[in-house]
Amino acid sequence: MPIWLRRGLEAIRTWAGWRWVGYGLSALIITVSVIVLWHVLSDLQIDGVVDALRATPPHKIVAAAAFVAAAFVTLTFYEYFGLRTIGIDHIPYRIAILGSFTGYSIGHNVGAPALTGGAVRYRVYSPWGLRVIDIAKLCFITGLTFWLGNTTVLGLGMIIDPQAVTAVDQLPASMNRIIGVVGLCVLAVYVLWAWRRQRTIGRNSWTVNLPSGPLTFLQIAIGILDLACTACAMYLLMPEQPAIDFVSLAVIFASATLLGFASHAPGSMGVFDAAMLVALTQFDKEQLVAALVLFRLLYFVIPFSLALTALGLREIYMSLVNGRKVKGEVARLLTFVAPADSAERKIAKTSRSLEEPTDA
């Protein structure tokens, strides 16, 4: 290989780093998902989807919405736990609710949630003294909670029902069971590693203390609760026939969710849907698409609209508060200036009266 070519490749490798490997994988996941969707939905009957939407019982939609709301409540636990883990204990829970809801809803819908959700969180938490590095640590801890909980569910699912995951990754059931065992073993090693003493990762000015062993179990429990709520919402919206047990659907749902999250696609658009359609071929296509549309409406569209509204109202409120503070400062300044002006006027008036001639 010519020396100029070798140096060029080394320069590109140094500039790109490992982050471009992640970008490449995300692009690959999205590309494959789009191709799969194009193939699966090529003969989709829109009228059938509309009929399936109309036939969905309202009480199931309401129940699914309740589980989605419960899932967003668990996301506030992600946030509050993360804030306390990085040593931020002066943020009240109500502010953590706002940061969690707006950060997750906007970040997951816009795409690249670590960046977009982090920007929203910074806007919410900066008046409370949090810096950019604090937001980065918070995003890391909340992301770790998500992956720990979902990896636990997926690992158990691969062991209990490996055939369900086979429908997604197309690997043999025996291979999926082995992957599940290895994944849980790695998770157990991590818990034992964190249990022995306080662990800190990072370097230079960016370091973060990892949760201890008992707190890691709490992390996993929060992640499992979040996934259970969203899986229940999806389960309620599924077609009634043919019947599917909750465990199988939860395993498929977890696989599709992780793929969508890894893709960094806006709202996991296309990736999550393609995985569900490929894995659940036993259902009528139009009915399954209707269920996915309802789930996307409840979990993505409505929370996104509410988050934008909440963030907009907050900005208006903060503008009014800051405006009142400015007016208050101006008023206080005038109270100090006004007496001085009055004194100067009195002195000037006295001087003029002394200078004026008096009639003899």
Task: For 50-73, give the DSSP string.
Answer: HHHHHHS-HHHHHHHHHHHHHHHH
Phi/psi at 17 (5° precision)? 70, -175
Give pLDDT, residue 3: 53
Give pLDDT, residue 275: 87
Q: Which of 273, 186, 176 is nearest to 234 (CA)?
A: 273
CA distance 254 to 176: 14
Give pLDDT, residue 151: 87
Name the strand (E) or helix (H) holding 201. Answer: strand 200-203
Give pLDDT, residue 334: 63
- Name every residue whose Cβ is closer than 8 Å to that of residue 327 and which is 6 or more positions away in sequence: none
- Segments in 128-172 forming alpha helices (H): 132-160, 162-169
Q: What are the residue ranges in the chain where pLDDT is below 70?
A: 1-30, 32-33, 36-37, 39-42, 325-360
Say what the pTM is.
0.78
Give pLDDT, residue 15: 44
Give pLDDT, residue 100: 92
Question: What is the DSSP code string of 255-324?
Answer: HHHHHHHHHT-GGGTTHHHHHHHHHTTTS-HHHHHHHHHHHHIIIIIHHHHHHHHHHHHHHHHHHHHHHH
CA distance 39 to 32: 11
Give pLDDT, residue 45: 79
CA distance 156 to 333: 67
Measured in residues, the chain has a length of 360
- Percent helix, strand and coil across the chain, each to the nearest 5: 80, 0, 15
CA distance 267 to 292: 13
Q: What is the dihedral of CA 118, 120, 125, 129, to 10 degrees?
A: 70
CA distance 183 to 13: 30
Give, in degrees to the nearest 5, the angle at Cα 219 between 198 and 107.
115
